[in-house]
Amino acid sequence: RRRRRRKMSAPVTAPAAAATSSGDAKSDFMKVFDDLVVQLGSDIATTHDMPQYAKEYIHKSMTYNVPHGKLTRGLAVLQCYKSFMSGMNQPVTPELAYQANLLGWCVEFLQAFFLVADDIMDGSVTRRGQPCFFRLPEIGLKAVNDSLMLELMIYRILRLNFRDHPSYIHFVELIQDVTYTTELGQLLDLTSQQQPGNTNFDSFNFDTLYRIYKYKTAYYSFYLSVALGMRLAGVTDTMQYDVARKICLAIGEYFQAQDDYLDCFGDPEVIGKIGTDIEENKCTWMVVTALQKCGYEKGGDSENVHAIEVLKGNYGRSEKEC
């Protein structure tokens, strides 16, 4: 018996969006998101017998969690794509630019998935200037499933729009590999934390820190966007990907060290979140640098032994006096 292929909604096409292009990269990028929300909603209605309240719930999850960041990861796909196409003296048509922005939104959906899940694990309060999704009274721990839905929508976007593209399997495997790498980084981040009242700084060193930076942040925040742009441009030379990876990982380390600093000293009104790294007993650039300056790995400089004890007594605690 021949299996019947499940009906799928039509791919998003570029002409309508290109015809109304504003010339502003971010505005054009947001128009593609609006198209995707319609497409994904139509896809769910076409392929699954979901009640109206469920469709509205999914719509809220997408519009609340995905498009409110700086969008630099998503926007970078088109910029990298244009750079490589320019290097090969190839034009970038509106249709091709639209494809690059579709891939950019795959990165932003991945970012949303990570952040919704990470906020639950960290018990965070705000994200991007608004309450964390799980903090909404009507959401709560349903956000665990919502984060998984956001991740799977990536592969729905790819299937709906790139199934016949020669690099389709490369897009899928690249995002899967980076997701796996990021989850390993999240594991390192979480397992490096000590239980409250049991602070042991032995694992708080730059080797541990940079490994977390590399796997948890650098791959998905920088390398993924560049690699997607390269793959869309038809780049197959593995050496070029190796060079791009090396550069992106170095940038990612700097970015995360800066993020650690902002978590401690940044204004929540500016950075869009209330930092909780110290309360969560996390291995960050701030505490590792402090321990290094105190000579912790050598047993502590004589004049800094007291400082180390004060740090041990206060780090990883949420009381205001600490």
Task: List, by residue number, the catalytic residues.
Answer: 70, 113, 118, 122, 127, 189, 216, 255, 259-260
Residues 149 and 163: their CA atoms lie apart, in Å, by 20
Answer for the pair 91, 216: CB distance below 8 angstroms, yes or no.
Answer: no
Residues 141 and 139: their CA atoms lie apart, in Å, by 6
B/e letters for 80-115, b = 16+ CB within 10 Å, e = fewer, are bbbebbeeeeeebeeebbbbbbbbbbbbbbbbbbbb
* Cβ neighbours around 235 below 10 Å, total: 19
On the CB side of 245, CA atoms within 13 Å amount to: 11
Residues 114 and 118: their CA atoms lie apart, in Å, by 6
Q: Could you write out the DSSP letters of every residue in 30-44? A: HHHHHHHHHHHHHHH
Q: Could you write out the DSSP letters of every residue in 158-196? A: HHHHHTTSTTHHHHHHHHHHHHHHHHHHHHHHHHTPPPT
Q: What six digits make up the tokens of 298?
A: 């050598």
